[in-house]
Chain A
Amino acid sequence: MLLFLEQVLNGLQLGFMLFLLSAGLTLVFGVMNLINLAHGSFYMVGAYVAATVMLASGSFMLALLVALVAAALCGFLVEIIVLRHLYARDHLDQVLATFGLILFFNEATRMIWGRQPLFMQVPDFLTGSVEIIPDIPYPLYRLVIIGVGLLVAVGLYLLISHTRLGMRIRAGASNRSMIAALGVNIRWLYSLVFALGALLAGFAGVMAAPLFAVESGMGESILILTFVVIVIGGIGSIKGALLGALLVGLVDTLGRAFLPGLLQWLFATSSANSVAASLASLGIYLLMAGILAFKPRGLFPA
């Protein structure tokens, strides 16, 4: 039972990590109607810059700050140089261009930082464990990720629902020509939204860097999960992204944690282990298929 609670916590933690990534992606898709495969690249930029700054300065907060600025700046430049010219094109062109950007960013990190994966440690003030479940020490850093994810969710809610900028973003999502006609500079609004999305991805990258290998191409392995999240949640909806991310995190974690034991108890053969592993990785796709069967546009269609 306590193990189950711990695994739920693990699932929530993975979910909030995914939320940080998918919030930006869903925002960009919803407001700008743009498919951005290169979203994982901003995650990678965040992780690389944070690891570099932390190694040089030893300060996690400085690393976080510089990495956020770098990721947002990258997003801003990419929007101005590449994506701005693609809004009028269809999605296939956007997919091709942003796929090209993935290759560009991966090769660029190899040229700048080399093939050696970077090292980033958990900052001293976040090391250690907390026994929030009796007798099971849970890493403080993972709890911090949950907390940060919650804060970002609240922050985004306030931004979108209670500020002028948020009002414009919502307006841009529902009728872009009308908001342009009302005198809002839609170009700058788009650049801003895209940079915000990149910043959130970079934030996820910084939080991930002490846990994961900081290496070229690290964004792609998590990008697929992120797309599953926004499809489940309903493309364009932040609320959907939050719920979708938590669902995916929980299903993925609980599947990996308990399916092997369950199958072994049922079949008691040696192949049960690898069958369970395959089934566990199928879990989130089954979830997606199930939800789409009843709600074809996701849980919260925007």
Chain B
Amino acid sequence: MKSKLICSSLVAISILIAVPASAALKIGMITTLTTKAGYLGEDIRDGFLLAMEMGGGKLGGVDIELLVEDDGRKPGKGLQISERYIKSDKVKIMTGIVFSNVAMAVVPRVVEDDVFYISPNAGPSALAGKGCNKNYFNAAWQNDNLHEVMGQYVQDAGYASAYILAPNYPAGKDALAGFKRYYKGKIVGEVYTKLGQSDYAAELANLRAAKPDAVFFFLPGGMGINFLKQYALAGLNESIPVFGPAFSFDARILKAVGDAAVGVHNGSQWNFDLDNAANKKFVEAFKTKYGRMPTLYASQGYDTANLIASALKATNGNPGDMDAFRAALEKADFDSVRGNFRFGSNHHPIQDIYVREVVKDASGIHNVTVEKVFSNHVDAYAGDCSL
């Protein structure tokens, strides 16, 4: 009896093993699904899967097996997963990383192993400038872009002075540098806060005393929720307007901030109301499948999948012919939900960037696109790339 059971389970296991050995092309996704930031990876993955489902489980007519692993926001873990993908799964295309520190650990290694890495989110400056690579593409943005657009917007709107805040870590410093690259007014305060800080009473008191005309902040995740709630509690939202990148104003964060976010202007390369056919189709399909509003991260995952699909279609599903596949990626021959999209010489997007405003109406709190601030915006590091 016992041996029979073992026999049948062995058979079952061998069937299980045999199934994935079909001709499906493997794509390796390393992303952040746990920790507080887990919803970012979740949305990237869901956007990607949506594109696959709309193609009937295929991308560009090729059967795809998407491998998904959680990096837990840890660079070391991301690296381990990438090595496993390369060695045991023979993956040729990777994507998915949310955070720049994980990307910095993984991307430079895998592109040397003749793997294509297509970023759906993280765009550290080091990989856009001198460290650019022919096998690395970024389908989202260079990290500075969404801060630069706010710098330009606040400048154009004629605010004479600004108070700017970010957490004390590399991405925070890049954010304020990006803002200052385009904002030429007076900076009356440049404050670096603790990473993960919850109480901003001290900063808000100083801010009020500095009497700026505008406030720009980059505080991703829960920090931004804390800041906006306390900003409103201090009554500052009635006197000094706030500006920030889209990261603190996605559909999920707005739900947690509530009325305190209403009226804030924020920079983004995408919004659900962008008027193009691809975007309408995406937003409808995403809402139907997942029952929630897509965030910009979901749109980036979806675009990444469609970018890969376009290159697979052009090369008949053979990323092994690297030169042909790369050339196909460079063409970016797909319908982006952002409308206007192409790659610059450093394989980063040249795209339009918008300013949105948080509004409250009958359907709840959400962003509406206010105006296009940058057309065909090129990142600041493209010139340093030797490609």
Contacts and interface: CB of A to CB of B under 8 A. Distances in A.
Given A13-B201, A217-B36, A277-B168, A256 B229 contact: no
B376 to A, nearest CB: 31
Contacts of A270: 190
Interface in A95-121: 110, 115-119, 121
A142 B257 contact: no
Interface stretch (A185-193, A205-213, A239-247, A294-302): A205-213
Interface in B307-352: none
A116 B201 CA distance: 25
Given A221-B196, A274-B192, A277-B168, A139 B226 contact: no
Nearest to B194: A281
B205 A213 contact: no
A142 B193 CA distance: 20
B229 A117 contact: no
B338 to A, nearest CB: 25
Contacts of B39: 115-116
Given A129-B235, A218-B222, A6 B36 contact: no
A139 B237 CA distance: 13
Contacts of A216: 36
A211 B226 contact: yes
Contacts, number: 120
6 contacts: A10-B201, A119-B257, A136-B205, A215-B222, A270-B190, A273-B190
Contacts of A142: 201, 233
A173 interface: no
B209 A211 contact: no
On chain A, which size bracket covers the interface? 35 or more
A236 interface: no
A212 B201 contact: no
A228 interface: no
Given A137-B235, A139-B233, A218-B222, A274 B255 contact: no
Nearest to B252: A116
A3 B256 contact: no
Contacts of B234: 129, 137, 139
A273 B225 contact: no
A256 B233 contact: no
A216 B38 CA distance: 11
